[in-house]
Amino acid sequence: MEGEVVSAIADVARVAGVSKATASRALSGRGYVSADTRERVVRAAADMGFVVSSNAASLVTGQSRNVGVVVPHLDRWFFTQVLEGIESALIAAGYDLTLYRLSADPDQRRRVFDYFLVRKRVDAVIAIGIALTADEVQMLVSLGKPIVGVGGEISGIATLSIDDVAASRLATDHLIALGHRRIVHLGGEHDEQADFRVLANRLSGFRTALAEGGLEGGDDFRTTVFSIPGGFETGLALLSDAANRPTAIVAGCDEIAIGVIVAARQLGIRVPEHISVIGIDDHELSGMFDLTTVRQEPAAQGALAVTLALDELAEPSSTAAPTPVLVPVELVERGSTAPPPL
């Protein structure tokens, strides 16, 4: 069957008066071919009843037109949004996606990298929220597979992420500028840190902003699960203590912030008249809850990761270490923040 496909491409190339490689580029859409040449090849293929397939292009170019994506979670907003951006960009470029979820099991991780990704099943690899080891990077690089990381800096490969410290500082500075002095951060459990220490970095940014505003010290942090129910439960406990209630809350993500807003409503506490709440993400539900937040765009990050991977696949760069890309964030002011009550 493979020989028949290669032979068919050779026949198309002969009729069109071009090389097999040129015929493959013209039919697959990958690589430069002049408009006249592409039209001649397509017309020859049509006259011969030849239907282009990804297998044909793979046989000539050695590429599968498939990108492997490794991810630690499939049920969290950030990861699903990045995946949507990756999938849309790959479809637009004529590529397939193979998804691998990495668990905490080191043997499972080893099998994914040592077996699946090293075989000629994928042309490139995108890692979402996973800090690849030096050995994993070297193994993929040695096979000529471009790698892009999303969510944090990984030595030796192209990476893109937001600055979590800066994002949290931006959120906290907004509340300080409004006049708040009793501010609490609701973040994740630090003994369940994800790669790149996102939770610790957001707490660090929060405390840095407090220190710069002359507000450091005190009981300024509560741990919670990164979810709406987590924010709700922690919010109920925090806001029920009227004597120690803060005037503002910086949530580690929008889902926590939304949970806090629901808890406040249940307790009869008005947002933002009695308490201000700000999140990080600009989750799809944030507008519904009128939530002020720091916007990052995970889907756009996924699409950019595809661009970086396919650019590297088309024109491999030099051995120089890629410069990490910091994706900008922006403050989105809605109705959940206001000056503190008098």
- Structural contact between residues 93 and 62, judged by C-beta atoms closer than 8 angstroms: no
Query: Per the CATH hierarchy, to which homologous superfamily does domain 2-61 belong?
Result: lambda repressor-like DNA-binding domains (1.10.260.40)
Average pLDDT, the chain: 87
How confident is residue 61, by pLDDT bands cut at 50, 70 and 90? very low
What CATH class does 66-162+299-328 carry?
alpha beta
E strands, 27-123, are 66-71, 96-101
pLDDT recorded at residue 193: 57
Spatial strand order in the sheet of 276-281: 221-223, 183-187, 248-251, 276-281, 292-295, 330-332
Query: Per the CATH hierarchy, to which homologous superfamily does domain 164-295 belong?
Result: Response regulator (3.40.50.2300)
**Residue 36 scores a pLDDT above 90:** no
Residue 326 β-bridge partners = 161
Task: Please give the Cα distance from 278 to 275 (Å, whole number).
Answer: 10
pTM for the model: 0.80
pLDDT recorded at residue 3: 45
The string of DSSP codes covering 97-140 is EEEEE--S-HHHHHHIIIIITTSTT-SEEEEES----HHHHHHH
- Sequence ranges of the chain with CATH classification 3.40.50.2300: 66-162+299-328, 164-295
- Sequence ranges of the chain with CATH classification 1.10.260.40: 2-61
With pLDDT > 90 as the criterion, what percentage of the chain qualifies? 58
How confident is residue 213, by pLDDT bands cut at 50, 70 and 90? very high
